[in-house]
Amino acid sequence: MDDSPAPGATVAAPPHGMRTFVHVLVNTAVANITTSFLWFGLTFWIYAETRNVIATGVIGGAYMLFIALFSMLFGTLVDRYRKKAVMLWATAAALVVFCLDTAFFFWIGEERIVDLTMPWFWIFAVVMLAGAVVEQLRSIALSTTVTLLVPDERHANANGLVGTVQGVSMLVTSVLSGLSVGFLGMGWTLVIGLAAMLLAMLHLSALRIPEREIAHVEGGTTKWVDIRGGWLAVLAAPGLLALVLFSTINNFAGGVYMALMDPYGIDLFGVQGWGIWFAVASTGFIAGGALIAATGLGRRPIRTMLVVAALIGVIGAVFAAREWGWLFIAGCWVYMACVPAVEAAEQTVIQRVVPYEKQGRVFGFAMTFEAAAAPVTALLIAPIAQAWVIPYMRGEGEAQWAWLLGEGENRGIALIFVFAGLLCALVALAAFLTPQYRRLSAQYEKTPPAPAAADTAPASADAP
């Protein structure tokens, strides 16, 4: 296997590339906030109208599963076309889909759509799902623009900024969606979302991204869904497959949190209280991303990733050890502050060891597995918790586990958190002992920056 770096890997980022990247990042943040604003609004609205947990669970799981299904296609598109063109297409397609869905909403009428026995809500939700999933194409393109625009030594900092923006997005979305649906209704929520997305598209069209001619892979034309190309690109970097698999395993623990964190928080604080405290805990994303943006990940980002992942497992095992609200919120805050480091480390490694012209497919490959992990776990763990663990811990199990978990109504969920957290920590620590960890660490240290688009023959900066 040839581990040598690709020719031209030492080419510097374009002048003012970091400034351009910040513009792209802010624009993507606005677009993603808009998409999440509509998607969260749909979830809040349908639960408030129907109190049907199955409806919210199905649309949430379907969203993640559709991202997993389409990520390889999105990654291939990112590699085939210029990044600005891909972002514009994604935003325009999402805008058109959301416009059609808004027209459908006002045409059918709110009273008929909230009737889950009729097909109208499911048509409305599926169309919105399509727009939200298409917008995720921008997330893959954004990861490759780090390689395109940012000097290699600042990749970790740029990826930290991405984490910070994700935290802001989560905080803003959860608050604004609830307020909009609660005070204005779903109709005005749709109108506000469309206006914000249109502004984001106009801003993006005015940006100049200094990208030149596309660097095509050897062998000519790339397939529309290049699963084989993504697989081979992952295998070409020793240990990279293990990194993707580890991130996937880590996301299984995230699936446990996704399924049970909201019920636990609502039981502790009530619906309104949990919404406020979740927004407070979300500031951990901002703090964690800002720390990475300021300090980076160190010389060995893979080691940093595994240490932080082990810490996440420990936090998950203890933040519900007693039915104390302050302990749970503090644990959620630290957990969310750690997540950007894990994600930034994976992105930084891929941006270094994978040639630029293949990075879209590799990010799509990774997203396929990682996006599928959380909803699969959530769909498995929720019925297990409801049918067995929670009843057991409200009966004979409470006395048996009181030495560890104390007493309370939610000791069943706490028990699941303990085992999921310990498993996550053990997997992270075990990864240090694997040869794949040593190989990938060595590959990262000896590989110069991956070739950027500036390597290729000149072309118009904004040409599609």
In a domain? residue 188: yes
User: What pLDDT is stored for residue 333 in this prediction?
Assistant: 92
User: And the tokens for 196?
Assistant: 């914000």
What is the per-residue pLDDT for 3?
41
Q: Are 282 and 265 in contact (CB under 8 A)?
A: no
Q: What is the DSSP-derived secondary structure letter of residue 154?
A: G
Residue 160 CA to residue 147 CA, distance in Å, equals 14
**Would you say residue 461 lies in a domain?**
no
Asked whether residue 332 is assigned to any structural domain, the reply reads yes
Query: d(Cα 42, Cα 125) in Å, to the nearest integer?
Result: 8
Burial of 259 (0-12, 13-18, 19+ CB in 10 A): buried
**Which residues neighbour 226 within 8 Å (Cβ) at sequence distance 6 or greater?**
72, 75, 76, 79, 361
Report how far residue 199's alpha carbon sits from residue 298's, in angstroms, rounded to the nearest whole number. Answer: 37
Amino acid symbol at 61: G
pLDDT in tens, the chain (464 residues): 444 444 334 345 666 677 888 888 888 888 878 887 787 777 767 666 665 545 655 666 677 777 777 777 777 777 777 878 888 888 888 889 889 989 998 998 888 887 777 888 888 888 888 888 877 788 788 777 877 777 777 777 777 777 677 667 766 776 677 777 777 888 888 888 888 888 888 888 887 777 655 555 444 455 555 556 666 666 666 667 777 777 766 677 777 776 677 777 777 877 567 767 877 888 888 888 888 878 877 788 888 888 888 898 899 888 888 888 899 999 989 988 888 888 788 778 877 777 767 767 777 777 776 666 666 666 677 677 767 887 888 877 778 888 888 887 778 888 888 888 888 888 888 888 888 788 778 777 776 654 444 444 343 344 33
Q: What is the pLDDT of residue 190?
A: 87
- Rounded CA-CA distance 169/167 in Å is 5
For 167, the token pair is: 């935290």
Q: pTM score, two decimals?
A: 0.68
Domain enclosing residue 260, as ranges: 17-216+224-455
Count other C-beta atoms under 10 Å from residue 275's C-beta: 17
Give me 352's structure tokens: 């270094």
Count of domains for the chain: 1
In this structure, what is the dihedral angle of CA atoms 414, 416, 420, 426, given to the nearest 10 degrees? 80
Q: What are phi and psi of 324, to 5 degrees?
A: -115, 125
Tokens (6 digits) for 59 = 């649309």
- Residue 455: the pLDDT is 42
- Residue pair 363/77 in contact (Cβ under 8 Å)? The answer is no
On whether the CB atoms of residues 141 and 78 are closer than 8 A, the answer is yes
Concatenate the DSSP letters of all residues of 352-406 into one string: HHS-GGGHHHHHHHHHHHHHHHHHHHHHHHHHHIIIIIHHHHTTHHHHHHHHHH-
Residue 114: how many other CB atoms lie within 10 Å: 19
Structure tokens at 2: 């040839």
Q: Which sign does the torsion angle of CA 363, 30, 334, 64 carry?
A: negative
What is the identity of the amino acid at 354? V
Beta carbons of 112 and 68 less than 8 angstroms apart: no
CATH number at residue 294: 1.20.1250.20
Give the per-residue pLDDT at 460. 37
Q: Is residue 8 part of a domain?
A: no
Instruction: Give dist(CA 317, CA 310) in Å, integer.
Output: 11
Residue type, 121: F
State the distance between the two ends of the chain, measured CA to CA, in whole angstroms. Answer: 35
